[in-house]
Amino acid sequence: MGLIVFLWLTTIVNGMLDFRLVIFSVILYLFRPTGNVELHQYKMKLMKCIYWGFGIVTLANFYAKRAGINLKQGAEWMELNRGFSEFSGFATHPMWTSCAAAISTTFFVSLAFRKTDMKSWQRYGCYGMILISLYITMISASRAAFFLALACSALIIWMQTEKFTAFMRNALIVGFTVLFFAPILMDNAAAMQNKMNGLEVTTKNTSRDALWAERMAEFNSSPIIGIGFAAHGVGANKQVGRNESGGGFITVLAQTGIIGVIFVALIWAAATVMPRRIGTDPNKVLLYSSFVFFSIHSIVEGYMFQGGWYLCLVIWLIIGFMIEHKTLPEEEYEDLEEVGEKDF
């Protein structure tokens, strides 16, 4: 609640009040940690629906690729990306496609390596979805999302495997599968490679340099309280509206200043737990890996304060869940085991 109050104060002081702050305040309020076991269970089940939604969206974008549908490939977009085409499928921006596919990867990795009575065709279906999800992440040219999907998948396999022998078996399965399909995946890595070569070699800059410079200029103009929620620009050029920020945490710094950074840092500290506190329950491991994914991904993508996008809702839902995971009494938390693997 303290963050909500501060956001309203700094935005009013800066004269940048906008309906986006209302949407974001509702998200923060709805997904705040409450300590209520029933609400905690509800959040877990809501995340189940979201994970399956990521899988369905990824399948839809796979169809879009096969059908030649790409909503973000016009001349203006090609010019902004120095002539390199990026796949967005049915989405309006490649990042929304790549992030959904990356989380879809971790979700189906979690399902594929659970100790359940899953039928063979179901497990093979999960393997297929893992490859499709990695493929979509790769052709949408998000380097961060692709490598984080791989890293968080490895984290899931490690955390939800109780015995070392089982972990080695799963690691071998993943390793041989990746080696077998690596040529197919690498043949479709042109967009990612072009982006890396074009932006870092030809221009001597990364795709974030200019955006981060803009955010730092905004921070320097108002270092204590920031320039206001959803605002961008300095002086007479300051305005509220849609803008590519270049990162979530640097956006917090620019829009809310040092005070806002302290609020967000305290929230993240409250949500952060060591892996051993999570245990081996697959549902909790999956949510924990999502927390790790979004925490790192928010360094380079700025959806943390963008209430109109689905990722903003997901990240604050997971933050609230993780804080509750730490604060619920152990005797009450045992009741959550009834949610079980079958729910995911």
Q: What is the pLDDT of residue 9?
A: 92
Q: What is the pLDDT of residue 76?
A: 46
Q: Where are the domains of the chain?
A: 2-343
Dihedral over alpha carbons 308, 309, 314, 316 (to 10 degrees): -40
Mean pLDDT of 87-113: 89
Q: How confident is the model at residue 314 (pLDDT cuts 50, 70, 90)?
A: very high
Contacts of 331-337 with CB under 8 Å at 24 or more apart are: 332/37, 333/37, 335/37, 336/37, 336/40, 336/41, 336/44, 337/281
Q: What is the pLDDT of residue 280?
A: 81
**What share of the chain in percent tops pLDDT 90?**
34
Nearest residue to 83 (alpha-carbon basis) of 191, 189, 204, 186 = 191
Q: What is the pLDDT of residue 339?
A: 46
Q: How confident is the model at residue 205 (pLDDT cuts 50, 70, 90)?
A: low
Q: Which two tokens stand for residue 211?
A: 């955006």
Better-scored residue on pLDDT, 83 or 159: 159
Q: What is the pLDDT of residue 4?
A: 92
The region of weakest confidence among 114-123, 141-150, 302-311, 335-344 is 335-344
Nearest residue to 283 (alpha-carbon basis) of 81, 21, 46 = 46
Mean pLDDT of 225-244: 84
- Is there a contact between 308 and 257 (Cβ–Cβ < 8 Å)? no
What is the DSSP code string of 325-342?
HHHS-HHHHGGGGGTTGG
For residue 79, pLDDT beyond 70: no
The pTM score is 0.85
- Is there a contact between 251 and 304 (Cβ–Cβ < 8 Å)? yes
Q: What is the pLDDT of residue 202?
A: 45
Cα gap 18→321, rounded to integer Å: 28
Q: What is the pLDDT of residue 260?
A: 93
Residues 6 or more apart whose Cβ sits within 8 Å of residue 336: 37, 40, 41, 44, 328
Q: What is the pLDDT of residue 184?
A: 59
CB count within 10 Å of CB 78 equals 14
Q: What is the pLDDT of residue 310?
A: 86
How many angstroms from the chain centroid is the CA of residue 185? 22
- pLDDT per residue as tens digits for the range 35-67: 788 888 888 889 999 999 999 999 999 999 888
- Is there a contact between 207 and 142 (Cβ–Cβ < 8 Å)? no
